[in-house]
Structure 1
């Protein structure tokens, strides 16, 4: 099986980004949305992005024109998928909406066409089972912005054929990205399973220790090797995204996340982070702004509870056959920007110290914190 023609359904930030990345790699791309005005806006953004790369001398004017000409915007669904070999669906993260889209798509697309959903949290198997081709259905989770982020999570559903998984991994490689395979369709896949619960845990850490946001963030940045603090990262990601992922993941597995009321409260109050001017921190304007963090502030906070949380979830992924240490480290480096391997940080802090901390938290705050058997075996 070879793929040359791709249809991207949805022309928002992720959709037009994936279309651009695919066209850059030489694929013929149809970009489809429900209104012409959405497509016009998306094509404008692609043009702006390509022009910027020409200005920076990353590509030539001819290359930019070639990439742009390989993307065809189309509103009519039947027309949009008539030559497609693979459809990458990038509609909003609402299960009913996705199912509705796939009901239409399943009728419109030829039976041999592969369906790939760019979901970050929704169950692949459940969506796949609403189509007539669950064996040709796969999760392909690009990170935002797709033009810059190297990581793509590939998630087979329960019925996905092995050749489709391999073909998708090859596709990811062909568009100059790095694939990380999440072997089981688990809530949050790999990155969100580590990142989203940690945002909640940071809120609990603040409650339990009275540390300031800046102290916690400094510890995360300088002691744990994150590129920015966890609250800063949450503001950058957007509380709407985090709240949505929280609800989805918690719905599917109560053990994955211990929701802190602050996240929902901020979402309800429209404190969405940088995009709204206020999240955990306040931002003065729409330019990319960084919080003042320092090694002095880092010394005032012990981030062991956060390490314990992220490590326990990583161990769960391994114990449950969804991933392994090597793939998790690759995902953390590319998806979270970790400067130091997670398990290396854990060894420096001491696996025994982490397990003791989890046992202590479990006694005080319940079963959620029970250490994964893998961590106990690593002592």
Structure 2
């Protein structure tokens, strides 16, 4: 099994980014969407991105032309998937829409073609089972924007064949990305299982301790080794993305997340973060600005409950054989920008202190906080 021809379904931010990185690595790419105008917009963005690389002398004008020459745009689905070795679907994160796409795709794609869904939260096995080829179906989660982010989560479904997993991992490496395999199709995979619950936990911490956003964010940045504060990171990601992921995680596993109403409230008020000018913080219309965080503010907040939250979910992934500590640390470093390993932070705080914190929270607020057996054993 080898990959030469790739079809990307959906030409939005993720789709055209995946098409670009694939073409830059020498693949023949067909980019498909339901209307030509969407494809024209996507090609404009790819051209702009490549022009920037030429200006920065990362690639030559000739290389840029050759990359563009490897990308074709086609509206007709049957024609778009003809001869494709790998089809990467990047349509919006709506289960019914994805299932509809795959029912059409299954009819027209060659029986040997591998299907890969670029989803961040939806269950791979459930989507795969709507096709006649679940053994040739896999999850491939690029991070936004695909041109810049190094991490790609690879998620086999329950029936995914080992050769399909190997082929996907090889493809990810070939486009100069770092694959992390989530061995089980668990809610949130690796990165979102760590990140999304932590946003809610930060809201609870703010409410329970009557803290300011900047105090929590400073503690997260300076004490937990995050590249920015958790509320800042949430605004950067977008409340629409976080709210959608929260719902998906909750449907699949009640214990993964303890939702705080503020996230849904911001979403309903269309305060989506930077993209709308306001989320947890307010943003001016000018260029992207960073929130002012400092070590003095960090001293006003003890972030142990946040460290406990991310460690408990990391431990859950190990206990449930979805990943191991080394892969989780790699995913957190590349996907969340962590400057310090999660378990190293845990050891600095003291695993015993983390477990005590979780037990105290469980007594006050319920079973969601019960410590994972792995953490208990590490004391």
Taking structure 2 as the reference length, the TM-score comes to 1.00
Q: How does 1:247-286 map to 2 (within 5 A)?
A: 247-285=247-285
Structure 1 CA distance, aligned partners of 2:136 and 2:289? Answer: 43
For 1:110-144, what per-residue CA distance to the aligned partner results, in whole angstroms no more than 9, with x for missing partners? 10000000000000000000000000000000000
Q: Provide the residue aligned with 1:50 in structure 2.
A: 50
Structure 1 CA distance, aligned partners of 2:260 and 2:65? Answer: 48
Q: Provide the residue aligned with 1:127 in structure 2.
A: 127
Cα drift, residue 286 of structure 1: 5.2
Q: Provide the residue aligned with 1:17 in structure 2.
A: 17
Q: Provide the residue aligned with 1:310 in structure 2.
A: 310
Structure 1 CA distance, aligned partners of 2:162 and 2:83? Answer: 24
Could you tell me whether the CA contact under 8 Å between 1:194 and 1:314 is conserved in 2?
yes
1:239 aligns with 2:202: no
How many pairs were matched up? 379
Structure 2 CA distance, aligned partners of 1:186 and 1:167? Answer: 21
Question: Residue 88 of structure 1: SS of its match in structure 2?
Answer: strand
For 1:198-217, what per-residue CA distance to the aligned partner results, in whole angstroms no more than 9, with x for missing partners? 00000000011111000000
Q: Provide the residue aligned with 2:151 in structure 1.
A: 151
Q: How does 1:204-223 map to 2 (within 5 A)?
A: 204-223=204-223
Structure 2 CA distance, aligned partners of 1:228 and 1:199? Answer: 13
Q: Structure 1: which 5+ residue stretches go unaligned?
A: none
Structure 2 CA distance, aligned partners of 1:33 and 1:303? Answer: 45
Could you tell me whether the CA contact under 8 Å between 1:149 and 1:335 is conserved in 2?
yes
Structure 1 CA distance, aligned partners of 2:288 and 2:160? Answer: 40
Question: Residue 206 of structure 2: SS of its match in structure 1?
Answer: helix
Question: Residue 208 of structure 1: SS of its match in structure 2?
Answer: helix
Structure 1 CA distance, aligned partners of 2:136 and 2:20? Answer: 24
Q: Provide the residue aligned with 1:113 in structure 2.
A: 113
Could you tell me whether the CA contact under 8 Å between 1:308 and 1:355 is conserved in 2?
yes
Structure 1 CA distance, aligned partners of 2:241 and 2:12? Answer: 15
Q: Provide the residue aligned with 1:83 in structure 2.
A: 83
Q: How does 1:347-362 map to 2 (within 5 A)?
A: 347-362=347-362
Q: Provide the residue aligned with 1:166 in structure 2.
A: 166
Could you tell me whether the CA contact under 8 Å between 1:218 and 1:229 is conserved in 2?
yes
1:7 aligns with 2:4: no
Cα distance, 1:15–1:286 mapped onto 2, change above 3 Å: farther
Cα drift, residue 289 of structure 1: 1.4
Question: Residue 197 of structure 1: SS of its match in structure 2?
Answer: helix
Structure 1 CA distance, aligned partners of 2:34 and 2:376? Answer: 52
Q: How does 1:309-348 map to 2 (within 5 A)?
A: 309-348=309-348
Cα drift, residue 83 of structure 1: 1.3
